[in-house]
Amino acid sequence: MQLPSAAFRLSPEKRALQLLQFNARKEVLWFGFKGAFEEPGTAVVTLSGLAPGLLGGGGTAALNGGVISAGFDAAFVLAGLGHYDSEVVVTLELSIKFLSLAKASDSLAFRAHVVRAARNFSFAEGVLADTAHPTAPGLALATAMVAPGRAP
């Protein structure tokens, strides 16, 4: 059961700055992720390129489970960045259910949204799906708890 998403708390202008900073992060670039915001409260992370090291073993052309975890982490952080006026959002908890093989494709997308936001943390949920097959079930489901980071 998917819960409704909470609308972003930050203004479109602040979210645009958050998105610029997110997409410029070294780890986001290294994985080949690209983030975007969709109204009213969804963060979307797509793959702009798939390096061979990101694919699973066993002769499959599928995303490695660790890459799926990193994709969900990125999507949840981005969803949190739409709610908190902080340069850093951290993932406190992440739970993933792998439902089906995620065959490597440019049409894969991690979609995440905050379900409930408080001042110091938020609960979120997400799905990994192939956008080329919109009626197909998700390939993986995830839940997370994220929080704004504190300056060192």
| CATH number of the structural domain spanning residue 22 | 3.10.129.10
The reply to whether 105 falls in a domain is: yes
In a domain, 60, yes or no: yes
**43 occurs within a structural domain:** yes
Structure tokens at 74: 């990125």
* Structural domains in the chain (count): 1
Q: Which pLDDT band, with edges at 50, 70 and 90, does 3 fall under?
A: low
b or e along 124-137 (b: 16 or more beta carbons within 10 Å of the residue's beta carbon)? bbbbbbbeeeeeee
What is the tally of helices (H) and strands (E) in the chain?
3, 6
In this predicted structure, the answer to whether residue 152 has a pLDDT above a threshold of 80 is: no
pLDDT tens across 59-89, in order? 678 888 889 999 999 999 999 999 999 999 9
Domain range for residue 103? 12-148
Q: Is residue 7 part of a domain?
A: no
Structure tokens at 119: 């001042």
Asked, for residue 125, whether it belongs to a domain, the answer is yes
Assess if residue 6 is contained within a domain: no
The amino acid sitting at 19 is L
Q: Of 110, 109, 113, 116, which is closest to residue 41 (Cα–Cα)?
A: 113
Is 48 domain-assigned?
yes
